Structure 1
Amino acid sequence: MVDYWKASFLLVSFVLYLANAQNGIETVSSGLDQFALKLLTQTAEAAGDNLNIALSPFTIWTLLTIISEGANKNTLRELENSLGIPAADKSVFRNNFRALSSDLKRNADGVTLDITNAIFTTNEFPLNTTFQAVSQSTYGVDVIPVDFRNSRGAVNTINNYISRATQNRIPNFVNAADVADAAIFMTSALFFKGQWRYRFDSAQTKPETFYNDAGNSIGRVQMMYQSGPFPYTLVSYLNAHAVELPYGNSDKVSMIVIVPRKGVKLLTVLRAIASRPVSELLNTLDRVQKEFSEEEVDVYLPKFKIESELNLNGVLNKMGINEVFNSEKADLLGIFPQYLYLSRVLQKAVIDVDEEGTIAAAAAGASIVYKTTQPKISANKPFAFFIVDKSTRSIIFAGKVSNPNGICDKCTGN
């Protein structure tokens, strides 16, 4: 097979974490959540301590789910197993996915969330009729014809589309090399903007020391501070502190910050999170909110901005997705009347957290610890974060901060 027919599927993403309470959507979000936690853990392990990470598990999961609609045999089985997609009764899954996507999209109460999916395809061969119909009706995909032989024109078309979808946060998603051998180029983009329900006072933001897992000083950050009625708990099976910071006024979207206890490595905590249903953590925080709704918690959180550009092939291989990347074994004949394989999955993600809020272009067995003195959580060492849509209980954006260098401006000083 000549290189021209090598499929090049890339993806753009943004950070966010979701949650779900309805039975149908629950089955979709549970698969998404487990994929998201494993993806963050594997990516963090590959990245090491020096690289901060911003990921949109939702966009990656969505992109691969769309691809699975055109996969067959073992290629399909690997995708279904890794993505948590049921092998049978696809019509039910598709209906539940539509419901999930509908619940997620919003532009009110201080929260904006837009999701956009697209397939850029050559004019020479049409997409499989069934695949195109399912992609458009279930996943809301825009099918856009492009001439990949005119690489400059293809790049401009894709970049303009993604720039609009992310409100100009990701203006240059691809270059000529990314589309040089493409027959199909698929994208999933997400834009999130949320105002804190309780905003941090910028007058309280001060430079503070940031420590590594071993407790050694490794830099300075601009540390925000506030005291408020936030759900907070010590999660025993994670050996970490958790606090929920809500966005807007509707109690539907939150950021969850996970800070390991003294002497515990962040990667150890991430592995523990990935080993249990995420609903355990969410249920614990919900219970804390009901039982201690009037109690104040001191929260120290750095201002940070992370821009990630990642090739996720190796990470997805470790998660069990292999055959779709193999040019000799991949079976994607349900997409296109030519032999294709997935050449690479790339992600660009941006998250910006400050006193006003966040802009991003991506439990049973838990112990509730309440002290007579006011609880305090300080993210002055490596921590993980998730942005949560509580009405759907699913992970949209996730990441970790372990390197203070470059996460904010003017972070030095006394």
Structure 2
Amino acid sequence: MRLEAILLLAVAAGTARGAGGFGALTGLAGGAADKLTQGVDKITSSLSNKDDCSRDVTEDFRRALYDFSTRLYKQVAQRASDHFTLSQFSAWLSLAAIAENTSGEEQKALLENLRLPAAECLRKKYYELALSLEPAGDDVTLARRRLLLVQPPAQLPANFSQRAGSLLQACQVDPAATAKDELKLSTAPAPASALLADSLDYSALWTSAFPEANIKRNQPFYDDNGKQIGTVDLMKIKKRVKLAHLPILNAKVLELPVGSDGRFRMLMLVNLGVLPIRHTVEIFQNTIIIDIFDKLLESAIPLEVSIPIFNLTSELKLRESLEAMGVNSVWKSSPAPAEYYQRVSVAVSPRGVSEGAPSSGSTLGSLLGAATGLAAAVGREFTANRPFMFGLVDKRTRTCLFTGAYSKPPSPS
């Protein structure tokens, strides 16, 4: 079978080059034949090792999260008018816990939607990696709760905690009242026999602070058409930063280090030109996240960065969005949650681990004619004074821990 595979590949290669039939084999002498054999070896090795529990799953884990995160982001954005914050990471872990406590076709469908492997040993490696991404520290706070709330006397699945206790905490309580109290919801959910619920409170220190003297108060914030719709306090700094140009979106992305040694990265995306942020969300694909990291380049000179101070809290009902993605078996499991509530609060302030360098207009002025080392389209600054997308990423695995979009600042005073 191995020789037959090599011969078939050789014939296909010869045909592609215009050679006929087995005449193509004359081009396989020596090193060429060895290279073809090595290629077959790589293919067969990849197929045989996909369920190898000893292999590194970091890349597969990252792509699974990218895929799920992108699909859920687009669904939520449609329902939240492009002004929200969302933790797909929490939702993915909670649904994975449900998957571990189901079986048969229901489990298979949910695992496929989460892009989780069929091999249990590999899924365990995914979860271990996921749960290692948010170490506690004074520089970054990522306070999370993930809950499955079940009204007594209904029973939890047998061995629930043993199978998924690290991913999702299960409690026999009044679901509606507990969800309101534990998630700090502004409105109590409707009574239900079971609910899924999670929350995230984020605050952090930038690796380098934005100097207080460079905060410009009550600066105009515009809609996608250039009309002022509110005001924000803009934090300004001049430094060498990483920027990427994404031609497919006609947008640019800023990367700013967060926490000690920049262990996290905040990404912020603004459109170039007049395209609305709604258009960007609609055409956004999971592969674009990979493009962002591949295209990020550090500027050769200091550039001016201006981003708003903001506090954004979203209280979301995720069931409708998840069902639109094909996540259906969760609501039929036992116990069947009636809804999935998520509250995410993101606070972005000027504070940093170390003091930021004071702005120097004279220094920048002397560099105005110097090359930035970046794509010409990104210009010489990054100003988030119009609708923008944002997300926090783990530096090591490039995993999105939360994302969002900001488009509705306070009204002008």
Fold shared, TM-score > 0.5 on shorter chain: yes
**Structure 2 counterpart of 1:100, which letter?**
A
- The answer as to 2:177 corresponding to 1:155 is yes
Aligned equivalent of 2:213, options 193, 196, 203: 203
Q: 1:17-56, aligned counterparts within 5 Å?
A: 23-48=56-81, 52-56=83-87
SS in 2 for 1:276: helix
Q: 1:74 to 1:342 in 2, by over 3 A?
A: farther
Aligned residues of 1:213 and 1:381 also touching (Cα < 8 A) = yes
Q: 1:209-228, aligned counterparts within 5 Å?
A: 209-228=220-239
> Once the 2 structures are TM-superposed, how far is the Cα of residue 55 of structure 1 from its aligned partner?
0.9
Equivalent position of 1:113 in the other structure = 142
> Once the 2 structures are TM-superposed, how far is the Cα of residue 268 of structure 1 from its aligned partner?
2.2
Aligned residues of 2:311 and 2:346 also touching (Cα < 8 A) = yes
Equivalent position of 1:320 in the other structure = 326
**Structure 2 counterpart of 1:390, which letter?**
K
Q: Distance in 1 between matches of 2:351 and 2:169?
A: 33
Equivalent position of 2:107 in the other structure = 76
Equivalent position of 2:184 in the other structure = 171
- The answer as to 2:374 corresponding to 1:369 is yes
Equivalent position of 2:404 in the other structure = 399
SS in 2 for 1:117: strand
Q: How many residues align?
A: 339
**Structure 1 counterpart of 2:97, which letter?**
I
> Once the 2 structures are TM-superposed, how far is the Cα of residue 191 of structure 1 from its aligned partner?
3.8
SS in 2 for 1:238: coil
> Once the 2 structures are TM-superposed, how far is the Cα of residue 369 of structure 1 from its aligned partner?
3.2
- The answer as to 2:239 corresponding to 1:190 is no
Q: 1:103 to 1:315 in 2, by over 3 A?
A: closer
> Once the 2 structures are TM-superposed, how far is the Cα of residue 260 of structure 1 from its aligned partner?
0.5
Higher mean C-alpha displacement, 232-241 vs 95-104:
95-104
- The answer as to 2:124 corresponding to 1:94 is yes
**Structure 2 counterpart of 1:132, which letter?**
S
Equivalent position of 1:349 in the other structure = 344
Q: Distance in 1 between matches of 2:172 and 2:293?
A: 42
> Once the 2 structures are TM-superposed, how far is the Cα of residue 345 of structure 1 from its aligned partner?
1.4
**Structure 2 counterpart of 1:402, which letter?**
S
Q: 1:255-266, aligned counterparts within 5 Å?
A: 255-266=266-277
Higher mean C-alpha displacement, 381-390 vs 62-71:
62-71
Q: 1:70 to 1:92 in 2, by over 3 A?
A: same
SS in 2 for 1:393: coil
Cα deviation 1:331-363 (Å, max 9, x = unaligned): x2xxx4xxx4331112212112121269xxxxx
> Once the 2 structures are TM-superposed, how far is the Cα of residue 323 of structure 1 from its aligned partner?
4.2
SS in 1 for 2:219: strand
Aligned residues of 1:39 and 1:57 also touching (Cα < 8 A) = yes
Aligned residues of 1:25 and 1:97 also touching (Cα < 8 A) = no
> Once the 2 structures are TM-superposed, how far is the Cα of residue 105 of structure 1 from its aligned partner?
2.4
Cα deviation 1:245-276 (Å, max 9, x = unaligned): 11122222011000011112212222333252
Gaps of 5+ in 1: 1-21, 163-169, 359-367
**Structure 2 counterpart of 1:392, which letter?**
T
Structure 2 length as normaliser, TM-score? 0.73
Bigger radius of gyration among the two: 2
**Structure 2 counterpart of 1:94, which letter?**
K
Q: 1:246 to 1:131 in 2, by over 3 A?
A: same
Gaps of 5+ in 2: 1-54, 354-372
Identity of counterpart residues, as a percentage?
23
- The answer as to 2:78 corresponding to 1:65 is no
- The answer as to 2:302 corresponding to 1:296 is yes
SS in 1 for 2:336: coil
Root-mean-square deviation (CA), in Å?
2.9
Aligned residues of 1:105 and 1:112 also touching (Cα < 8 A) = no
Q: 1:36 to 1:208 in 2, by over 3 A?
A: same
Equivalent position of 1:241 in the other structure = 252
- The answer as to 2:303 corresponding to 1:273 is no
Structure 1 length as normaliser, TM-score? 0.73
Q: 1:233 to 1:29 in 2, by over 3 A?
A: closer
